[in-house]
Amino acid sequence: MSEEMNLVRDLAVILISAGLFTIIFRALKQPLVLGYIIAGFLIGPHISFFPGVYSIDSVKQWSEIGIIFLMFALGLEFSFKKLLKVGTAAVTIAGGKFIGVFVLGFAAGQAMNWTFMESIFLAGLLSMSSTTVVIKAFDDLGLKKSSYAGLVFGTLVVEDLIAILLMVLLSTMAVSNSFAGGEMIFNLAKLAFFIILAFLIGIYAIPTLLRRFGKFINNEILLLVSIGLCFGMVTLATSVGFSSALGAFVMGSILAETVESERIVKLTSSIKDLFGAIFFVSVGMMVDPQVIGKYWFIILIITLLVYLTHIVFAGMGVLLSGKGLENAVHTGFSLAQLGEFGFIIAGVGVTLGVMRDFIYPIIIAVSVITTFTTPIMIKLADPAYKFLVAKTPQKLLNFIDPPQKKQKSNDSSEWEILIRMVMVRVTLYGVVLVAILLASKGYLEKFVYTILPTDSEFVHDLVVVGITVVVMMPFLYGFASNPANIKKQARILLKRNPGNSLPLMGIVLLRTFIASSIVLEVVVSHFNLNFWTIVAVFVFLCAFIMFSRHSFHKLNFVEDRFLANLNAKEAQNQEP
């Protein structure tokens, strides 16, 4: 049989077995993911009774495409606006849970004499719960409208983002084999820069193009465009040193903010299901029963560690956010499972050669066990809460569940709101300005030298600086100016205390200095200026930006278009 027909046969075995076992698991009211894993286990190389696959390498390639579509679909359901809306409670719960589980997971790996990198990967993968399993369990049990459902879903949204960041960092650590704090900070900054820039450009350009050519775009074309954008972002992400999963996730989150997001979800769901099934079946193929039998005690220990740490640290996060004991118990028990990211991260570790092969089946076994028991754990939350109430002293209960008091607004909270607004604005515009600066140095200089080969170097530099500054102008205005919401907040602070005028002016001056420094960097990188000339140019730039901030309001067309695209989906949903 030819290689092409072997691939067809392998796909037939994978999909038929996946279909049969998902029917069985649907009848048993269990997550379909488990059906895929069991199907992969039975047709894998470790079980000879059922028809197996010929080419494991080909299946791995298909499964990598499956990861791309899974992350793309996750991004379509994620959206960064949703992250901003989950509130501080979800961030507190997810952050506290991640830190607690990570520390104990690393300690457990070291206690089992695993290598440092294996312990790091174990700590990371253990800290993630399963969004898919929890949502399915809540739907089956009719708990989507419960008082704690919002906390659970918000925490899962934050955890998904943490998992994406963790995959990038762990991959970087594994490749570089370096744990230097400076390098980690640089990689985090590089990651944040990439995500923010991709999101800003994507939200500005993609909805505009979809709207302009909307009358020509039917379902077939929209499907092709969506998948093309997904793989384009995957290619871009891998070319700058990030994973394909990150690129797919980012593009999904960008398309999630468009008015076409629901159509895209429907159009791509079948493709996601197809390749997702191949991925989860390939995961099942990695399960070796001999390894499970040999390391059953480690599997038991890690399973108990997942139950204990997820319940305790998620519950503590809920208590720290002031949501009460009942919500803490139900949230902790709901999140007590190892998610799909667990064996995705484990697979990354094995692929990069920093984790031994026997660890992968162990993680899959733990994931299967905790997934099976998720509905049971959710049902156990209520009796566990009643037990704690009965055994906990009343004084401690009163301390844990204090009466909710409405806190009066004060200068401190108003300043926090203003600073948060300014920081968001400075970060977003700063990323764009740095991107323009890098593009000018990396591409514009070469382009100008190509189209003006006979002109002097002075003319070349003058053209490059002129084009760069002109392109930067709208963003320099956005960086240094105050939109309506910041002005409103500043007026509130001035009304409360006229003495706030000095620090408010300080914030304006600081932003002006930073904007002027960016332009000065463009100038001095092309012209040799003495010290006093640099000072004069800097003072001129500061004065120009400071006194012309109110005169360049027409330059905010870029921001207006971006905000219109960002809010178009909500505006459409609000229409009668």
Q: What is the DSSP string of 197-211?
A: HHHHHHHHHHHHHHH
Kindly report the CATH number assigned to the domain that includes residue 72. 1.20.1530.20
Say yes or no: 171 and 294 in one domain.
yes
Residue 575, pLDDT score: 59
Residues 427 and 528 in one domain: yes
Element (H, E) at 259: none
Q: Are residues 80 and 126 in the same domain?
A: yes
- pLDDT at 293 (0 to 100): 86
In a domain, residue 222? The reply is no
313 in the same domain as 457? no
Whether 18 is covered by a domain: the verdict is: yes
Q: Does residue 208 sit within a domain?
A: no
Q: What are phi and psi of 22, to 5 degrees?
A: -70, -30
State whether 316 and 436 are in the same domain: no
Instruction: Report the distance separating Cα 106 and Cα 126, nearest Å.
Output: 9
Q: Please report the sign of the dihedral spanned by the C-alpha atoms of residue 320, residue 324, residue 327, residue 330.
A: positive
Exposure string of 63-79, with b = 16+ CB inside 10 Å and e = fewer, is bbbbbbbbbbbbbbbbb
**Which residue range(s) make up the domain with 448?**
412-574
In this prediction the pTM is: 0.77
Same domain membership, residue 454 and residue 500 = yes
* Contacting residues for 366 by C-beta, under 8 A, at least 6 apart: 299, 302, 303, 306, 338, 342
Same domain flag for 424 and 551:
yes
Residues 6 or more apart in contact with residue 230 via CB below 8 angstroms: 68, 69, 72, 247, 248, 251, 252
Q: Tell me, yes or no, whether 344 and 418 share the same domain.
A: no
- To the nearest 10°, report the CA torsion of 473, 474, 480, 484: 160
Number of domains, the chain: 2
Dihedral of CA atoms 181, 184, 188, 189 in degrees, nearest 10, equals 70
Q: Would you say 199 and 250 are in contact if contact means Cβ atoms under 8 Å apart?
A: yes
Q: Within a domain: residue 59?
A: yes
What is the pLDDT at residue 224? 92
pLDDT of amino acid 406: 44
pLDDT for residue 313: 93
Helix pair angle (457-480, 501-524), 10° resolution:
160
Q: Is 264 left (phi over 0), alpha (psi -120 to 50) or beta?
A: alpha
Q: Which two tokens stand for residue 39?
A: 């199907």
Measure the CA–CA gap between 477 and 455, rounded to whole angstroms. Answer: 32
Query: Is the domain of 428 the same as that of 358?
Result: no
As a whole number of angstroms, the distance between CA 539 and CA 517 comes to 10
- For CA atoms 283, 288, 292, 294, give the dihedral sign: negative
Looking at 359, 380, 401, which one is the last position of a domain? 380
> Is the residue at 318 inside a domain?
yes
Residue 33 lies in a domain: yes
Whether residue 370 is found in the same domain as residue 418: no
The rounded distance, in Å, linking the Cα atoms of 228 and 342 is 28
Domain membership flag for residue 228: no
432 and 367 co-located in one domain: no
pLDDT one digit per residue (tens) for the chain, 576 residues: 566 667 788 888 888 888 998 899 888 877 777 788 888 888 877 777 777 776 667 777 777 788 888 788 878 877 666 666 656 788 888 888 999 999 999 999 999 999 888 898 899 889 888 877 787 778 777 787 788 888 888 888 788 778 877 877 777 677 665 555 566 677 778 888 888 888 889 988 898 888 888 888 888 899 999 999 999 999 998 888 777 877 888 898 889 888 888 889 889 888 888 888 888 888 778 777 888 888 899 999 999 999 999 999 999 988 888 788 888 899 999 999 887 777 778 877 877 788 888 888 888 888 888 887 888 898 899 999 888 888 888 777 777 765 554 444 455 677 878 888 888 888 888 899 999 988 888 888 888 888 877 667 888 888 888 999 888 888 888 888 777 778 888 888 888 888 788 888 888 888 889 888 888 888 888 888 888 888 888 888 888 877 776 665 555 677 778 878 877 777 776 655
Coil, helix or strand for 409? coil
Same domain, 177 and 40: yes
Residue at 205 is within a domain: no
How much is the pLDDT for 405? 45
Q: Which tokens hold the place of 436? A: 């323009």
